[in-house]
Amino acid sequence: MLRIEDTDKERNSEAFLNVIYDSLTWLGMDWDEGPKAGGAFGPYRQSERADIYKIYLKKLFDADRAYEKDGAIWFRLTGERYEFFDEHRKKSVTKVRAAPTIIEDRIRGHVERIEDEDFVIFRSDGNPVFHFVNVVDDIAMQITHVIRGEDHLSNTSKHVELFKAFGAPVPQFAHIPLILKQNGPGKMSKRDQGALIEEYQRRGFLPEALVNFLCLLGWNPGDDREKMPIAEVIRLFDLPAVNQSNARFDDKKLAHMNMVYLLELPAEKFVAKSREYFRTQASRPEVAAALAADEGFFREVMLLAHPKIKGLEELPGYTAYFFTDDFVVDGKVRDKVMAKGDPKARLQELSEAIATMDFSADAAIEEGIKAVAVKRSLGFGDYQAIARLALSGTNVGPSITGMMRVLGRERVQARFARFLGDNVRVSPA
């Protein structure tokens, strides 16, 4: 049995545990026992295991390995005792001459640490401390492997001494590298931006992309591969291959990983994911308009955007002008487009040609635009920028031919007419 440890008290609250369960479920992960799943080694909440801790505490008292002092209960180390004046604490303390505690860590290798002072296992308020409950739970639940952050390596010698005092087998420890903040020193905490799984769920990231990214923080399969399905990670993963150096979280790399997974989604699955994300953002006006649109039109817009976006969270803003004719024209873009040649004349020419242009496919629309350009000894680009501005109010987006096909002849003509008549809203340049 394996225990992956998180000792943060706040994270062990019921509310936070529910968030963890929801996040794991969203990531596609399952577990065979625990507070919600049950199992043979319950109860699984430390707050419900007080009777078990009392039984194990009695074992230490019976073996003369525990004693009371200053209202607390202390664990007694074995070995010769002597008094030592601690300059830092400015008092005399009792030390124990003890051999180093040996830890054969699956990642760190051979580690030796010396425990030379008795330590508290129950506070004066009667509550057991982290060291005691972790070891008791590991013994009672027959834990064989403990995986936790490298910063907990300093606790392990205390835990090993407790295992020995109980006459229990010591589990295999693996202290994994810490995840560092994106910027600045120190490890990433739950308060840092990007640290919570639910944030990525809310932003429309694909769970398989996030799992893939997290698996490669501090570990790699021994080659340059980055995109790996979880089944392949499981097949190749081995604790000794985990890096000893800390890993730095990189939100840009995660975003790129998510984009790679998005681009590989089959068309219908991408459309379904898009609609699912839009529903989570339904309070936004542009999203409400998209959800109210014809399903076939929504599908065509999403498929047009599919190769261009880096994440689902970009979709509402990227596609908003498809779902409303009352969009704002970017003033800076307009000034730039209007400064070259005679763009309104080009738009008028294109508007007149649309009535007989073939709108059945992107290629047909492209040929139609080129035919207009040839008549004026101009190029495709002389018509593209002004047409895009009139149709979307900006200079970025899917191909102009795709936009025209999806919007349809009547809408394109209407938008061209509004722009030519200066009947549009323009943002300050």
DSSP for 255-282, written as a single string:
HHHHHHHHHTS-HHHHHHHHHHHHHHTT
pTM over 0.75: yes
Residue 198 scores a pLDDT above 90? no
How many CB atoms neighbour CB 2 within 10 A?
11
| Residue 1, pLDDT score | 47
Class of domain 2-176: alpha beta
Residue 115 scores a pLDDT above 60? yes
- CA–CA dist 413, 404 (Å, integer): 10
Burial call 11-31: b when 16+ CB within 10 Å, e when fewer: eeeeeebeeeeebeeebeeee
DSSP assignment string, 96-146: EE-PPEEEEETTTEEEEE---S-EEEE-TTSPBPHHHHHHHHHHHTT--EE
Task: In the chain, list all ranges with CATH 1.10.10.350.
Answer: 328-426
DSSP state of 240: G
- CA–CA dist 94, 117 (Å, integer): 7
DSSP assignment string, 196-228: -HHHHHHTT--HHHHHHHHHTSS---SSS----
Backbone angles phi, psi at 264, to 5 degrees: -90, -5
Instruction: Tell me what the mean pLDDT of segment 182-209 comes to.
Output: 83
For domain 197-262, give the fold.
Answer: Glutamyl-tRNA Synthetase; domain 2 (1.10.1160)
3-state secondary structure of 301: helix
Task: In the chain, list all ranges with CATH 3.40.50.620.
Answer: 2-176
How many CB atoms neighbour CB 242 within 10 A?
20
Find out if CATH 1.10.10.350 is the number for domain 328-426.
yes
Residue 186 scores a pLDDT above 90? no
3-state secondary structure of 423: coil
The answer to whether 171 and 142 are in contact (CB under 8 A) is no
The answer to whether 158 and 132 are in contact (CB under 8 A) is no
| Residue 5, pLDDT score | 52
Single out the residue of 41, 43, 47, 39 nearest to residue 9, CA to CA: 47
Tokens of 36: 């919600």
Residue 48 scores a pLDDT above 80? yes
Task: In the chain, list all ranges with CATH 1.10.1160.10.
Answer: 197-262
| Residue 386, pLDDT score | 97
The answer to whether 7 and 130 are in contact (CB under 8 A) is yes
CA distances from 398 to 91, 226, 401, 405 (A): 73, 28, 8, 11
The answer to whether 310 and 320 are in contact (CB under 8 A) is no
Tokens of 400: 């102009």
The answer to whether 257 and 213 are in contact (CB under 8 A) is yes
Query: How do residues 268-323 score in pLDDT, each as one tens digit?
Result: 999 999 999 999 999 998 899 999 999 999 999 999 999 999 999 999 999 999 99
The answer to whether 209 and 261 are in contact (CB under 8 A) is yes
pLDDT band at 224 (very low <50, low <70, confident <90, very high): confident
pLDDT band at 7 (very low <50, low <70, confident <90, very high): very low
Residue 6 scores a pLDDT above 60? no
- CA–CA dist 43, 41 (Å, integer): 7
